[in-house]
A and B are shown apart, each in its own frame.
Chain A
Amino acid sequence: MTRGITFRDVRKTFGATVALTNFDVTVHEGELITLLGPSGCGKSTALRIAAGFEVADSGDILIGDSSVIALPPSKRGIGMVFQNYSLFPHLTVRENLEFGMRVRRVSRAQRATRVDELLQLVRLSGLADRYPHQVSGGQQQRVALARALAVEPRVLLLDEPLSALDATVRVEVRDEIRRIQRESGIATVFVTHDQEEALAISDRICVMRDGRAEQVGTPQAVYRYPATSFVARFVGKVNDLEVELRSSTTVSLRGHAMEIEVPSTTLSVGEARLLIRPEDVRLVAAGDPRALPGTIENLHFGGATTSVEVFITGTGQSIQISDVTRAMNFGVGEEVGVRFDTDRALVIRS
């Protein structure tokens, strides 16, 4: 695969704070990678270094096969969409789209053709002569995306482009970004703190914490096989249970003797934690000998799935279960059994 953009061992500090360290990620052509993490994890710093707005302490940024670390933003061949609305307020939509091409001295005729193409691409052909303040937030971000693509950059950088939008528009623009990115086949780095957004839009996700990449993988891999407890907790919901590690493959819930099989671990026996997704726990009828006994504390109807909170008898711990609504025939206060599908569970030191 051809390389789009490569972060090579990038490091950045602000005073005593390490914003980014050992950061090594390659985004291939046609690929969309999300940098996902809580605020302060270094994801925006990474993007700003890629764009050239921030200078790395050490390391390199390659676009294609050539280093761009010494180039100013204007010479890097990037397209960028910002968190805040960034359209030039004094220019119409058309003029905004033309800006990069005018700077590059593209002829008037070529500019006009390209602008029409771009407007079609983002489905805003009717708005060419409006000013930014005359179009909605979602439309502004679509124009910003088109403007970034106008100069045919090698890499597209998106810095939380959806965070200023309200929920419904956000999903719409998100899907639009993905469609356009697929059509243009451009290497894209998408920064977000919203795990749902990351799961929905990415080819691969890079989960970041304290300036490091914790895990890089497809959304399925990151969700299904989190490399660390941080990833498990940050991407999707997870139950965090106190357990006793009995052997390398069995645990028991604190306060209950029943042994539960888990994927083989190298941790030594003793106190540990079991991380398991709500959908990997099943509700069964009370009295099932292979299930832990419990009582339903709460039911949250969520459309296709229902979220159930079960208090597990004798353990002092509750567990979240996500079940298909159609299959639900329990009520609050009812005694039930709880079974674990532990092949994707994670045992960690407590």
Chain B
Amino acid sequence: MRLSRALWWIVLVIAAVFYLVPMLAMARFAFQRIPVIKLAPDNIFSKWTIEPLLNTFADPDFRQAALLSVLLAVATAVATAVLLVPTMVAAHLHSPRARKLIEVSAVLPFVVPAIALVVGFAGAFRNTVPFFIRNPVGLVPLYMITALPFTHRTLENGLATLDLRTLVNASRSLGAGWVRTMVLVIAPNIRASIATASFLAFTVVLGEFTIASLLLKNTLPLYLAYAQGQNPQGSFALGLVLVVLSTVFVALSNRFARSVTT
């Protein structure tokens, strides 16, 4: 008992060091006005500044990229909720086989490289619906697919806790059609899952690089990569902010999930 508790602490400390030391290094590089080679333990508290971040925020390229990324993230989260939830509900109710199929295809993005996805996507749409390739909106379906392993699992867990068939039948016997049943009965009962899935989709989009890069869309991760050459301090500062933001999102979604289920 004692030993396992000690072990627990050791693991925790190692993990914390593993994650926090690089972050600290990043923070010092980004936010201390000291040349890299002079960064040392004794000057850890001196000359901190948020100027690199402010400079980045002032960059019009950054603003454009950030705006695009946030819009894409919101669109992806909304599209996921609006399309994936009814699809999964329908599969739960009517077709165990479709449910299985969705389950399998939902993990495919883990194994299929993003480049394959983009090449296929571009090949299919370049000559048929070029709008999808030209307009950044075309990224939304790709991002939905990329986020699918996370969003599907989250929603699946939420749906599994419900006696879906009985609730749907009760709702329909009381005069509600499919849309109302979806909005008034199912969605509120899995709202924690929907919120979590949306947060996860949002976070995935904010960090996605390959697809946007291949389709030449200037999203936030692309800006970060580009700015590393021009303004290394600023891009590291921004990177750090994104890490913190993502952490806050995930924490919020967990908190939300707990407050709903208890």
- Chain A positions within 8 Å of B, measured between CB atoms, are 51-53, 72-75, 78-80, 82, 84-90, 99-100, 103-104, 144, 147-148, 150-151, 157
Q: Which residue of B lies closest to A77 (CB)?
A: B175
Q: Which residue of B lies closest to A153 (CB)?
A: B173
Residues on A with C-beta less than 8 A from B177 are: 72, 74
**B169 in contact with A80 (CB, 8 Å):** yes
**Does B167 have its Cβ within 8 Å of any Cβ on chain A?**
yes
**Does B188 have its Cβ within 8 Å of any Cβ on chain A?**
yes
Residues on A with C-beta less than 8 A from B173 are: 51, 73-74, 78-80, 148, 157
**B175 in contact with A74 (CB, 8 Å):** yes
A7 vs B189: C-alpha distance when bound (angstroms): 35
A74 vs B188: C-alpha distance when bound (angstroms): 20
A73 vs B171: C-alpha distance when bound (angstroms): 9
Residues on A with C-beta less than 8 A from B127 are: none
**Does B23 have its Cβ within 8 Å of any Cβ on chain A?**
no
From B167, B172, B184, contact of A72 by CB (8 A): B172
8 tightest A-B contacts by CB?
Answer: A100-B174, A80-B173, A73-B172, A86-B170, A90-B188, A103-B175, A86-B166, A84-B166
B104 to chain A, nearest CB (A): 26
A89 vs B163: C-alpha distance when bound (angstroms): 10
A88-B169 contact given A74-B175, A99-B174, CB 8 Å threshold: no
Residues on B with C-beta less than 8 A from A53 are: 169, 172
**B189 in contact with A88 (CB, 8 Å):** yes
**Does B227 have its Cβ within 8 Å of any Cβ on chain A?**
no
Other than the known A86-B167, A147-B174, what 6 A-B pairs have Cβ atoms closer than 8 Å?
Answer: A88-B189, A90-B189, A103-B180, A103-B184, A144-B170, A157-B173
Residues on A with C-beta less than 8 A from B176 are: 74, 99-100, 103
B256 to chain A, nearest CB (A): 14
From A74, A84, A85, A148, contact of B172 by CB (8 A): A74
Residues of B in contact (CB 8 Å), total 18
Can you list 16 A-B pairs, Cβ within 8 angstroms, ordered by A?
A72-B172, A72-B177, A74-B177, A75-B175, A79-B173, A79-B174, A80-B173, A84-B166, A86-B163, A86-B170, A88-B189, A100-B176, A103-B174, A103-B180, A148-B174, A150-B174
Residues on A with C-beta less than 8 A from B169 are: 51, 53, 73, 80, 82, 86
Residues on B with C-beta less than 8 A from A82 are: 166, 169-170
A157 vs B175: C-alpha distance when bound (angstroms): 14
A255 vs B169: C-alpha distance when bound (angstroms): 57
A103 vs B178: C-alpha distance when bound (angstroms): 12
B174 to chain A, nearest CB (A): 4
A49 vs B175: C-alpha distance when bound (angstroms): 16
- Most-contacted residue by chain B among A75, A84, A85, A88 (CB, 10 A): A88
Instruction: Tell me the total A-B contact number using a CB cutoff of 8 A.
Output: 68
Chain B, residues 148-181, CB within 8 Å of chain A (1/0): the string is: 0000000000000001001101111111110010
**Does B185 have its Cβ within 8 Å of any Cβ on chain A?**
yes
- Most-contacted residue by chain A among B163, B171, B172, B174 (CB, 10 A): B174
Residues on B with C-beta less than 8 A from A103 are: 174-176, 180, 184
Q: Which residue of B lies closest to A102 (CB)?
A: B184
Chain B, residues 169-209, CB within 8 Å of chain A (1/0): the string is: 11111111100100011001101000000000000000000
From B172, B175, B185, B191, contact of A104 by CB (8 A): B175
**A84 in contact with B175 (CB, 8 Å):** no
A104 vs B175: C-alpha distance when bound (angstroms): 7
A118 to chain B, nearest CB (A): 13
A274 to chain B, nearest CB (A): 45
Residues on B with C-beta less than 8 A from A90 are: 188-189, 191
Q: Which residue of B lies closest to A82 (CB)?
A: B166
Residues on B with C-beta less than 8 A from A144 are: 170
Residues on B with C-beta less than 8 A from A89 are: 189
Q: Which residue of A lies closest to B176 (CB)?
A: A103
A148 vs B171: C-alpha distance when bound (angstroms): 10
Residues on B with C-beta less than 8 A from A84 are: 163, 166
- Most-contacted residue by chain B among A52, A75, A86, A100 (CB, 10 A): A86
A72 vs B166: C-alpha distance when bound (angstroms): 16
**A88 in contact with B167 (CB, 8 Å):** yes
A150 vs B175: C-alpha distance when bound (angstroms): 11
Q: Which residue of B lies closest to A53 (CB)?
A: B169
